[in-house]
Structure 1
Amino acid sequence: MRVSSPRSRTAALAAGIALCAGGAGVAMAVGRLVPALNPMLIAIVLGASAANSVAIPAWIRPGVEFSAKRLLRVGIAVLGLQLMFSDIVALGWGVIAIVVAVVALGIAGTMYMGRLLGLPWTQRVLIACGFSICGAAAVAAADGVVKAKDEETVTAIALVVIFGSLMIPGIPLLAQSAGLDDRRSGMLAGGAIHEVAQVVAAGGVIGGGALAVATVVKLARVLMLAPVMAYLGIVQRRRARDGGVHGAAAGKQPPIVPLFVIGFLVSVAVRSSGLLPDFVIDQAAHLQTALLTTAMFALGLGVRIGLLRSVGPRPFVLATASTLWVVFIAFIGILLVG
């Protein structure tokens, strides 16, 4: 069906958004029934299952793309309301240094290993950001800056789900084997695991005071999303100027700092001001979850089993190496800081 009139375009947009919102509603309901499962990860699985079992009408694609890109960026901006600068500073400069090292060295090492494997620059960027910062949200945020191919985005998100889930039992086992106390075990979980929800799950497995420490350390990594996206914006402008950007319009420069990153920082500043009542913060958390879950279902609709098979083993090799590298950085940092 060809969408031509404004009315039909609006209907296509609404239908696609409604489909993704419905999928998000199911995912969030399952998440409430099984608190150990994160609704965003459930949404990706549901979207991928739907895409590989039934034919999604092509005419609703505009609404699906809107959900995967626009709603996701709004969700990332609202995510900032869950962060406070004071919580990050309270970690101490040693822990902050670990967070910066995990993100900076994690991205640099992953990019280098990906280049050795011969992966495209955009694919390397998505995997590096997802594994070093905050999982699927970081993958999608990086995609909003570097404009990767759809198959690169869904591959990176799938890898985050697979490897991050494996770390939920893996990190507690590593912490126990190394004889780490609850605080340092929480630091390891927050510093190494990809998704916030995966960190919470691992912190719960460790027990004691590990969960609170793990969550704050992970949120500090989330805060690094802003400077990393700003840096990528600068790199992308240089690549666009040099003609190295896939599908870039001639003479069109991407913004140095994407608007959603500015919104994210504004949200952090507003939350840090202490002006917002707890009720507003709680409602913002629900809104953020709904927006990001809707976006993840939309991204899941782009996952095709045949597509994942076609990418070959190299992204999986990079994901394995990146996971081990990030865990190594976090572990050594914890041993040094104590």
Structure 2
Amino acid sequence: MAENNDSTTTRAGATAVPARPSQTGPTAPQGSGGKLTDHRLGKFLPGLAVCAAATPVAMGIAHFVPLASALLIAIILGIVLRNVMGDLPASWAPGMQFSSKKILRLGIILLGAQLVLGDIMSLGWKMILVVIAVVAIGMLGTIGLGRALGMGRDLSLLIGCGFSICGAAAIAGVESTVRARKEDVAAAIALVVLFGTLMIAAVPLIRGLLGLGEETAGMWAGASTHEVAQVVAIGGIIGPEALKVAVVVKLARVLMLAPIIAVLALSVRRSSASALTPGPDSEVKAARPPLVPLFIIGFLAMAIIRTLGWLPDWAVTAAGIGQTIALTAAMFALGSGVHIKSLIKLGFMPVLLATLSTLIVAGVAGLGIWLAV
């Protein structure tokens, strides 16, 4: 019969499978599915184009506003766009999501090129212990207070990571590991931007009231302030010696992002294994996240390569520029997900938790530095 001519030959007892033209099927080779590939790539272009347009605008504004980083400006631009336009065009969504996840991870990898492990070790073991204490106590204290306030686990975790490690980049990195809700990510980023900006004014003011020396004030700024750019702004206000030590201390906190995300990934991996338990005869395997996310491996690899001196100065400079571009694009995409009306519905508790988290981190940092020096 005619149907037999359109069937593949199989062994006895097997069901014949109709043949399909390989160039049009879903399993078509990469080299022959031009239209399909173009369609898949094309869906990212509108959102990526918007991020690409916003990135130089944010970097340009930051150039003329010394106390504002390109990342901060990008987040603000994204928030403004989202709340002025209302619902963004659906065609932007794939590109925006790609920017907020894949491009963000690229930025974190390039951030590793700014770390020289020798500089961090030169802080001395006491200061390194202070950094570890700030991150550990800041995170655990924030999560514990969040539970006491009746808040969701994910929002408490995101606030704890953002305030204890490195701001919005830490929040986004953790979000990609634990798969938190978009509303929680937006709230955590908005809070870390707000409180980090307040720290730019607060740290120099408190330094004057307490009579802290320039180097000590720089250590405190690096150990307590959320974003790298905010630390740079504070150090620049206090003085060159403060700026130098503040950045090194802050980068030591950034380095803590790797083990924290690795631990969270392990936790999620175990949870996934418990939730998805196939039967003994089932061939279905639970989809679990990697033990250590690839972008964290890349981050550590870049730090090691930089420490070994294998990166020439021009490559370090290029990586720094690339990091700024990638993170700025990612922060714009993340900012575009911040809906102010939705944040207001969250109530006062997240603001209270952010306030308490800031006090914990600043307090542990201040006490630790006082004991260390």
TM over 0.5: yes
CA contact (8 A) 2:66 2:233 kept: no
Indicate whether 1:53 and 2:91 are aligned: no
Give the corresponding residue for 2:364.
329
Partner of 2:66: 35
Deviation at 1:220, TM superposition (A): 0.5
CA distance in 2 between partners of 1:240 and 1:153 (Å): 21
User: Distance in 1 between the 2:207 and 2:269 partners?
Assistant: 42
Q: Contact 1:75–1:289 at 8 Å: present in 2 too?
A: yes
Deviations 1:280-321 (A, max 9, x none): 110110000000000000011111111111212111111000
Corresponding residue number in structure 2 for 1:89: 121
AA aligned to 1:218 is K
Report what 1:267 is aligned to: 302
- Cα distance, 1:277 vs. partner? 1.0
What residue identity is the alignment partner of 2:167?
G
Q: TM-score, normalised by structure 2?
A: 0.86
SS of structure 2 residue aligned to 1:276: coil
Range moving further from structure 2, 6-15 or 281-290: 6-15
Structure with more of its chain in helix, by fraction: 1
**Which one of the candidate residues 86, 96, 109 is aligned to 1:64?**
96
Task: Select 2:336's aligned residue among 301, 304, 310.
Answer: 301
Show structure 2 runs of 5+ residues with no match: 1-34, 277-283
The aligned amino acid for 2:291 is I
1:121 maps to what in 2? 153
Aligned partners of 1:175 and 1:188 also within 8 Å: no
Q: Secondary structure at the match of 2:275?
A: coil
Q: What TM-score, normalized to structure 1?
A: 0.95
**Residue identity in the other structure for 2:174:** A
| Secondary structure class of the residue paired with 1:53 | helix
Residue 214 of structure 1 aligns with which residue?
Answer: 246
Distance 1:242 1:187 in 2: 43
* Alignment check: 8 A CA contact 1:17 1:64 kept: yes
Number of the residue aligned with 1:21: 52
Q: Is the 8 A contact 2:46 2:91 kept in 1?
A: no
Deviation at 1:118, TM superposition (A): 1.4
1:174 and 2:206 equivalent? yes
- Offset at residue 255 of structure 1 (A): 1.6
- Between 1:79-88 and 1:311-320, the stretch displaced more is 311-320
| Shift in Å, 1:242 | 3.5
Larger radius of gyration: 2
Distance 1:250 1:122, change over 3 A: farther
Q: Secondary structure at the match of 1:209?
A: helix
* CA drift at 1:5: 5.6
Structure 1: give runs of 5+ residues left out of the alignment.
none
| 1:137-176 to 2 correspondences below 5 Å | 137-176=169-208
Which structure 1 residue ranges, 4+ long, deviate > 4 Å from structure 2? none
Note if 1:132 corresponds to 2:164: yes
2:55 partner SS: helix
The Cα of 1:213 is off from its aligned counterpart by 0.7
